[in-house]
Structure 1
Amino acid sequence: MSYQVFARKYRPKTFDDVLGQDHVVRTLRNAIEQKRLAHAYLFVGPRGTGKTSTARILAKALNCTGGPKADFDPNEDVCVEIAEGRSLDVLEIDGASNNGVEQVRDLRESVRFAPARGQFKIYYIDEVHMLSNAAFNALLKTLEEPPPHVKFIFATTEANKILPTILSRCQRFDLRPIPTDLIAKHLLHIASEENVKLDEAAAWAVAKGADGGMRDAQSMLDQLVAFCGDHITEANVLDVFGFTSREKVAQLASTLLSRQTPAALSLIQKEAESGRELGQLLGELVGALRALLVAKLDPSADGDGIPAELWQGLLSAADAYPPDRILSAIDVFAETEGRMKWSTNKRLHFELGLIKAIQVLGEVRLSDVIKVLAKGADSLGDAGIAAAIPAVVPSTPEPVREAAPAYEPEPEPEYVPEPAPLPPPPAKVWEPEEERAVAAPVSSVPKRSLDAITSRFDSLIAAAPEHSEPPPPLVEPPPFKSAETAAPPEPPKPTRAAVDENFHRDPLIEHALAALEGRVVG
């Protein structure tokens, strides 16, 4: 028999063998036991988390002898055929190579036929997100109302590429990345079954490098067995895959927290020259800082795989920093990781990020100054603050000085009403020459009258306003109207009575009447 790799040899066969997906296993078990089977299932998750294995186990539970039942015998011939891909009732289709409308039409034609041996005809489509939109639309009607003997199982790593109309017709199960400690335990179990001595540190290093994927970890273990033989150490894992040991990660984190820039740069240089993957080293460093941050917020948290003696040293070095400072350093390394992903000179960006993180840890902020001042005030207390403040009152008493008299405001002068204004002088009228000659001269006016006139002028000048009132606005004359537009009004015609009266008042007529002693009759 040909050699079979660990990923296929130790593939889960029953629901009990599935690791790290308890929420999916429990739901499927209850659905089978309660006869609440859906017509379409969708398994979503990263690579190596058990999507295909779970789909095959579900197919075994549905088509096993006496099924559907959750506890079946994986060694019976029906289950063996499904596990090996030889069953006529379980069709596994690759969505990447069968993504056209023609393949979906063939599938719709075959759906009408009854299963050959089991109770259900199961269609498993892997990487279903690779189907085209036309193929998805062609599958919609069949997927929504399939025959009662048909079940669909889909698997994908990118659920966002599947049409919402397909998602709404399926029961979705999200498979999570498998924890590191669970992968390490399973690797130790495989090594014991294969008579291989695997150190716990080596198993942890492999599990850490697998990043939550069981299949990746099993493939790495298979490669290590071919490289090392019967005994695998942590050094072998680091040499083969370029990983960094936990001691190196803890040492780099310690130099970062102690702000020893030359030592940290020298450590990065040695790791780069020895062929280590700097991106993986940066990820390990960020993981260590994240563990320190969680430990500050939750003292019961563990060291994320770092040995106990190294973890205690990191905790002591991190006591000098508040959680927000460590969080700032993590932000710096997150930006550095984004730059390193697309750069050819990864070492340069790693070193720049490390220097910037050390500066962030050592900078003094305004919040630190406020905390120091508040802590100093609390330590002094009331007595200390009173002693720290210099005395203002001298020890020797000063001589008593007489109090200065209180300020008394000067009395306001009594109000004296102003004298009544003199009447304006009469308007000057025309006088004959004789009267003007007889007028008295100024020297003949009494002195008392002159004084009264002078005081009156002074009072008028004092009472005059500082600013004169503006002159009244000029009244514009009415607009000129020409003779063409407006003719002047005609004078009224005199009546007969007015003519007779004016005739009698004529001076010539009056003089003639007086000379002749006549009178006007009628």
Structure 2
Amino acid sequence: MNRIAHAFMLTGVRGVGKTTTARILARALNCTGVDGNGGPTPDPCGVCANCVAILADRHPDVVEMDAASNTGVDDVREIIEATRFKPLSARIKVFIIDEVHMLSRNAFNALLKTLEEPPPHVKFVFATTEIRKVPVTVLSRCQRFDLRRVAVAELSAHFSRIARLENIAIAPEALDHIARAADGSVRDGLSLLDQAIARGSEDGTEISAEMVAEMLGLSDRGYVFELMEAVMAGDAAAALAVTDTAHARGADLGVLIADLLGLAHLLTRLKSVPALATSNALPEAERTRGLALAAGLSIPWLGRLWQMLLKGVAEVEAAPDRRAAAEMIIIRLCHVADMPPPGDLIKKLEQQAAQNSMGGSAGGGSPGGTRAVANGAPMQAVAAPRAITFQDVVALAGAKHDVMLYAHLRQSVHLVKFAPPVIEMRLELDAPRDMAQRLGALLEAETNRRWTIVISQAAGEPTIADGERQAENAARQHATDHPLVRAIMEAFPGARIEKLHAAPEPIADEAPPDWLELAPPDDVYNEEED
């Protein structure tokens, strides 16, 4: 008994058995065995007086408190007062506090002293779904146990046993729907199973997967796979036809987009972990169809699909018309299906630049031109090939939303040499120490080749930000020196150049046109009147 912790912390999602485990622990501590002479045991008998009373929730020495409705100091003080008295009939007095994270700060502080120096006849069992909200001072005095989510396969098998015992006919696919919707919670899954049984037919016919999907507000999995196939093919018409059919059947298109997101995750797992192809964690139909889809996809494509769908789910929730938002997302997905990834574009640019540099102008082919691409059509080729520059590298950091790296590349880097895959540069003092590693990792991930980033002490070129400021100052000075601008500023004392805009054609440095007649000062008029 001296080696048993005086306080236990049980944490996990709702409905995984935290309170049930606490009651089992109370029985294990107080079980006396069938003959009444037993001691604490990991396998309580369930027939002794203490076990029976605890199971019936009427044992005077096992106290349960719901901290969600008893959050104050006074409630905790009642427990502290009760710890002073020895148990009436049990070996150990057990206090079970459910949702302990709901206690107030003062209540936790009042409980700390008792947790630090607990009486030998008292054990505490805490249960919570929000372990982060429990003070560290309390956690450090408890033995913690994390109750994991129950796997979908285990939940489905458990629900199947219950349905068989209750003589309920229900399709295995329907049980899979319920198990996935339960999200690892046995209690939530049992509640959904009760709802499905209540909605089921009274004539003894099997509860179908379609009925359960309708009850849960899910879209038919067949629609999700058909929609993914249409997106992969870039067929917007077929994708919208599937969407219209699902909507006509009563499916929520926001849920359809979310299911498409889940399918993207499933395909990525099948592509990354081949062992899932032989696992029983997935239904046979989904595993077979998912493997067929994943075979024609790449991880980068699935990653882009995931990012677009993740944003799409939020767009649907925020849009005033959910159907219109969902259809726009699907059309967008179809038109980027054939677009090459950024890494392939960069590699193709490098290859074409290398070919141009080696071949020069010796070839007799027609000069390169820019091919027009219709609005919305997938881009199949790279137009106007050119060698990549350091500005392209900076733009890549901005496109990847690496704000810190993008800012430092513009403001803290003096380029010394740029010869892909080698970049030599001098850093300002405010540049981060890991900047070279971050830049190299970004370029390697995009181009699938190793880049060498050399930190030099050479002067190098001005930073991009300095260069832009110098160019702006030069342009401003050039504009100020223009005769037309100078004449206007002389005509309007105090005027200044607020903003510069690039002109479609350069303005010649010429004298003001004849039609620009500046009004003479007032004294000239006065002289003429005289």
TM-score, length-scaled by structure 1: 0.61
- Cα distance 1:321–1:224, how it changes in 2: closer, same or farther (>3 A)? closer
SS of residue in 2 equivalent to 1:38: coil
Name the residue aligned to 1:496. Answer: none
One-letter amino acid of the structure 1 residue matched with residue 262 of structure 2: G
Name the residue aligned to 1:326. Answer: 302
Structure 1 position 183, deviation (Å): 0.5
Name the residue aligned to 2:24. Answer: 57
Name the residue aligned to 1:262. Answer: 237
Name the residue aligned to 2:11. Answer: 44
- Note the alpha carbon deviations across 1:193-252, whole angstroms, 9 max, x for none: 111122211111111111111111111111222221443221221232222333222222
* CA distance in 2: counterparts of 1:84 and 1:252, whole angstroms: 53
SS of residue in 2 equivalent to 1:178: coil
One-letter amino acid of the structure 1 residue matched with residue 12 of structure 2: G
* CA distance in 2: counterparts of 1:41 and 1:344, whole angstroms: 48
**Residue 359 of structure 1 pairs with residue 331 of structure 2:** no
Structure 1 position 312, deviation (Å): 4.2
SS of residue in 2 equivalent to 1:361: coil
Structure 1 position 344, deviation (Å): 5.4
What pairs up with 1:82-481 in 2 under 5 angstroms? 82-228=54-200, 229=202, 230=204, 231-302=206-277, 308=284, 311-341=287-317, 345-365=321-341, 367-368=343-344
8 Å CA contact 1:326–1:361 kept in 2: the answer is: no
* CA distance in 2: counterparts of 1:312 and 1:195, whole angstroms: 31
Structure 1 position 106, deviation (Å): 1.3
One-letter amino acid of the structure 2 residue matched with residue 202 of structure 1: A
* CA distance in 1: counterparts of 2:341 and 2:310, whole angstroms: 22
Structure 1 position 359, deviation (Å): 3.3
One-letter amino acid of the structure 1 residue matched with residue 24 of structure 2: I
SS of residue in 2 equivalent to 1:152: strand
- Cα distance 1:367–1:241, how it changes in 2: closer, same or farther (>3 A)? closer
SS of residue in 2 equivalent to 1:166: helix
* CA distance in 1: counterparts of 2:332 and 2:174, whole angstroms: 33
8 Å CA contact 1:258–1:317 kept in 2: the answer is: no
Which 10-residue stretch deviates more, 93-102 or 310-319? 310-319
Name the residue aligned to 2:444. Answer: none
SS of residue in 2 equivalent to 1:354: helix
* CA distance in 1: counterparts of 2:313 and 2:101, whole angstroms: 29
- Note the alpha carbon deviations across 1:349-377, whole angstroms, 9 max, x for none: 3333333333333212453357789999x
* CA distance in 1: counterparts of 2:49 and 2:150, whole angstroms: 31
* CA distance in 2: counterparts of 1:263 and 1:273, whole angstroms: 15
Structure 1 position 279, deviation (Å): 4.4
* CA distance in 2: counterparts of 1:298 and 1:371, whole angstroms: 28
Structure 1 position 55, deviation (Å): 1.0
Structure 1 position 141, deviation (Å): 0.2
Structure 1 position 71, deviation (Å): 1.4
- Note the alpha carbon deviations across 1:472-505, whole angstroms, 9 max, x for none: xxxxxxxxxxxxxxxxxxxxxxxxxxxxxxxxxx
Which 10-residue stretch deviates more, 184-193 or 258-267? 258-267
8 Å CA contact 1:333–1:354 kept in 2: the answer is: no
* CA distance in 2: counterparts of 1:248 and 1:38, whole angstroms: 53
- Note the alpha carbon deviations across 1:71-130, whole angstroms, 9 max, x for none: 122344422322332111111101011111111111111111111222111111111111
8 Å CA contact 2:174–2:208 kept in 1: the answer is: yes
* CA distance in 1: counterparts of 2:49 and 2:326, whole angstroms: 56
* CA distance in 2: counterparts of 1:290 and 1:53, whole angstroms: 34
Query: RMSD across aligned C-alpha pairs, in angstroms?
Result: 3.0
Aligned residues: 348
- Cα distance 1:134–1:324, how it changes in 2: closer, same or farther (>3 A)? same
SS of residue in 1 equivalent to 2:337: helix
Structure 2 segments unaligned to the other structure (5+ residues): 33-37, 353-361, 365-530
- Note the alpha carbon deviations across 1:126-156, whole angstroms, 9 max, x for none: 1111111111111110122110110111111
One-letter amino acid of the structure 2 residue matched with residue 103 of structure 1: D
Structure 1 segments unaligned to the other structure (5+ residues): 1-31, 377-388, 392-522
* CA distance in 1: counterparts of 2:297 and 2:348, whole angstroms: 14
Structure 1 position 182, deviation (Å): 0.7
8 Å CA contact 1:49–1:213 kept in 2: the answer is: yes
- Cα distance 1:255–1:171, how it changes in 2: closer, same or farther (>3 A)? same
* CA distance in 1: counterparts of 2:124 and 2:320, whole angstroms: 45
Higher relative contact order (CA 8 A, sep 6+): 1
8 Å CA contact 2:270–2:294 kept in 1: the answer is: no
8 Å CA contact 2:170–2:208 kept in 1: the answer is: yes
8 Å CA contact 1:253–1:314 kept in 2: the answer is: no
One-letter amino acid of the structure 1 residue matched with residue 69 of structure 2: S
* CA distance in 1: counterparts of 2:280 and 2:222, whole angstroms: 13
* CA distance in 1: counterparts of 2:23 and 2:318, whole angstroms: 39
Name the residue aligned to 1:464. Answer: none
One-letter amino acid of the structure 2 residue matched with residue 287 of structure 1: G
* CA distance in 2: counterparts of 1:269 and 1:288, whole angstroms: 19
One-letter amino acid of the structure 2 residue matched with residue 240 of structure 1: M
Larger radius of gyration: 1
- Cα distance 1:320–1:168, how it changes in 2: closer, same or farther (>3 A)? same
* CA distance in 2: counterparts of 1:390 and 1:103, whole angstroms: 90
* CA distance in 2: counterparts of 1:339 and 1:156, whole angstroms: 33
One-letter amino acid of the structure 2 residue matched with residue 59 of structure 1: A
- Cα distance 1:75–1:190, how it changes in 2: closer, same or farther (>3 A)? farther
- Cα distance 1:342–1:59, how it changes in 2: closer, same or farther (>3 A)? farther
One-letter amino acid of the structure 2 residue matched with residue 60 of structure 1: R
SS of residue in 1 equivalent to 2:274: coil
8 Å CA contact 1:111–1:150 kept in 2: the answer is: yes
Which 10-residue stretch deviates more, 349-358 or 165-174? 349-358
One-letter amino acid of the structure 2 residue matched with residue 299 of structure 1: P
